[in-house]
Amino acid sequence: MHSFPGVVAVGYINEAIDEGNPLRTLETLLLPTANISDVDPAHAQHYQDVLYHAKSQKLG
């Protein structure tokens, strides 16, 4: 079975969000396989907060 790089990146991003570490979340958002542009390291905490909230709403 072959995995798609973008799917793997999403898994890493979700794990980082769950860890609650903004710097780890930032690292995963910056992965080339995530294919996300214009990620600003100065907004790491904001990304963590917004993504955690969105994930909580989706699961809740």
Residue 5's pLDDT band (boundaries 50, 70, 90)? confident
DSSP-derived secondary structure letter, 3: P
Residue 6's pLDDT is what? 83
Question: How big is the CA angle at 54 (ends 18 and 51), to the nearest 5 degrees?
Answer: 55
Which ranges in 1-60 belong to alpha helices (H)? Answer: 5-19, 22-29, 44-59
Per the structure, the count of domains in the chain is: 1
User: What's the chain's length in residues?
Assistant: 60
8-49 confidence digits (pLDDT tens): 999 999 999 999 999 999 999 999 999 999 999 999 999 999
Residue 59's pLDDT band (boundaries 50, 70, 90)? confident
**Domain interval for residue 39:** 5-59
